Amino acid sequence: MTRLLSCCLNAACMGLMDAGLPMRSLFCGVKCALDNDGNITLDPNVRQEKESRAVLTFAIESLERKVLMMSSRGLYSATELQQCIAATQLASKKLFQFYRDFITRRYSKS
């Protein structure tokens, strides 16, 4: 479930955008893995996820980059949670840019 969650969130938001639903802000899902040394890997692959101590998935909204939802497994400290949130908020910038490019391309075609 955790593996698919961030994908589903992104697909859901893009689907809503594509349907032309008026939305005040966008949202995206980003996954963050912590290894035994506390190293952070964003968007981990299957192997990185297996070797991780914890995996956290966040839904971030685009206006203030607030955390809308979070799902996690494994053990992590309060500091690691904050570090993951910060890394995820940064990564969400790229995803929102990707959304905008996608929509721009889509509507410039028709």
Ligand X SMILES: *[C@@H]1O[C@H](CO)[C@@H](O)[C@H](O)[C@H]1NC(C)=O
Q: 34-93: which residues touch ligand X (CB under 6 A)? A: 35-37, 39
CA nearest 91: which of 29, 25, 9? 29
Closer Cβ to ligand X, 51 or 101, answer by number = 51
CA–CA distance, 108 with 31 (Å, rounded to integer): 31
Closer Cβ to ligand X, 39 or 77, answer by number = 39
SS3 57: strand
Q: Pairing between strand 40-42 and 27-34?
A: antiparallel
Which span (19-27, 32-40, 83-91, 93-101) binds ligand X, by CB under 6 A?
32-40
Closer Cβ to ligand X, 36 or 79, answer by number = 36
* Residues near ligand X (CB under 6 A): 35-37, 39
